[in-house]
């Protein structure tokens, strides 16, 4: 359930007159809302005040929305490192407890160039949140669901295939989290991979854009059976 659907849901539960509803909607549209006092908060309060919506109905709508959008809190993480490192890497480790923090004990050549280690496999984790690319609203408002038809753009950047064996990409939708596992050469040779992200780059560092019109090209790399450790090992073996 996205925000436009939420508004329609609230309006359908209204038991007052159409005139009252239109008057309230007109006030809401003209409102200069600011977080956390947003337009939905004012809409619900107004409908309850004129007895067109019960508190019980509000709680039911609220719970349904939370159930259908369990990942919205992730879109409220403002710091890039807080999202990429703290959330994404923690989420990935939760999927595979065998993943280890790399060190010079495990790999004498390690100098921070990748994120995780699994039985000799060097792993880099990248993450992106899926939002409406036509919207200028905050992330938590323009967050999209997995089945969206809206345009979006996920930019997986600072990719260094020469520094790892396997990439794990985490895509966060408002209702689902998708993981892709790719061997580094599969990223390097992908036609969507562009080298030279920054001027003066050395080696093969680059970026890859996943969009609404090419996301299907990565279906074969999607984690399907929830066994992340096995999927990493299989990716590492692919030629």
Which residues constitute the domain of residue 23?
3-68
At residue 200, does pLDDT exceed 50? Answer: no
pLDDT of res. 138 = 86
Same domain? 220 vs 121 = yes
Give pTM, 2 decimals: 0.80
> Does 130 share its domain with 182?
yes
Q: 148-194: per-residue pLDDT in tens?
A: 999 999 988 899 999 999 999 999 999 999 999 999 999 999 999 98
Contact 159, 126 (CB under 8 A): yes
Query: Which tens digits make up the pLDDT trace of 13-64?
Result: 888 888 888 888 888 777 766 666 677 888 888 888 888 888 898 888 888 8
Q: Does 114 share its domain with 213? A: yes
User: Are residues 21 and 77 located together in one domain of the fold?
Assistant: no
Into how many domains does the chain fold?
Answer: 2
Nearest to 81 by CA among 92, 89, 93, 71: 89
- Asked whether the bond before 36 is cis by omega within 30 degrees of 0, the reply is yes
* Same-domain check for residues 28 and 112: no
CATH number at residue 135: 3.40.1350
200 half-sphere exposure, CB direction, 13 A CA radius: 0
Asked which of 68, 91, 106 is the last residue of a domain, the reply is 68
Q: What is the pLDDT of residue 34?
A: 64
pLDDT, position 202: 55
Tokens of 225: 């059976």
- pLDDT digit string (tens) for 82-141? 888 889 999 999 999 999 999 999 999 999 999 999 999 999 999 999 999 999 888 888
Average pLDDT, the chain: 88
Alpha helices in the chain (DSSP H): 3-12, 18-30, 39-49, 55-68, 80-81, 90-95, 139-142, 184-188, 228-237
């Amino acid at each position: 359930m996205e925000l436009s659907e939420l508004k329609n849901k609230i309006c359908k539960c209204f038991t007052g007159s159409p005139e009252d509803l239109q008057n309230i909607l007109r006030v809401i549209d003209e409102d200069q809302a600011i977080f956390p006092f947003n337009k939905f908060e004012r809409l619900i309060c107004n409908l309850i005040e004129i007895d067109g919506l019960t508190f019980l109905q509000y709680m039911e709508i609220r719970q349904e929305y939370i159930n259908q959008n369990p990942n919205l809190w992730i879109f409220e993480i403002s710091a890039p490192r807080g999202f990429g490192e703290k959330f994404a890497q923690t989420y990935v480790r939760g999927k595979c407890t065998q993943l280890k923090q790399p060190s010079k004990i495990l790999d004498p050549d390690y100098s921070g160039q990748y994120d995780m280690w699994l039985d000799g496999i060097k792993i880099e984790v990248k993450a992106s949140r899926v939002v409406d690319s036509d919207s200028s609203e905050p992330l938590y408002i323009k967050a999209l669901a997995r089945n969206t038809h809206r345009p979006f753009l996920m930019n997986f950047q600072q990719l260094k295939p020469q520094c790892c064996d396997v990439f794990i990409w985490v895509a966060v939708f408002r209702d689902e989290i998708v993981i892709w596992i790719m061997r580094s050469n599969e990223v390097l040779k992908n036609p969507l991979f562009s080298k030279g992200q920054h001027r003066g780059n050395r080696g093969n560092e680059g970026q890859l854009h996943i969009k609404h019109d090419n996301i299907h090209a990565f279906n074969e790399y999607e984690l399907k059976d929830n066994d992340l450790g096995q999927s990493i090992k299989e990716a590492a073996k692919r030629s």
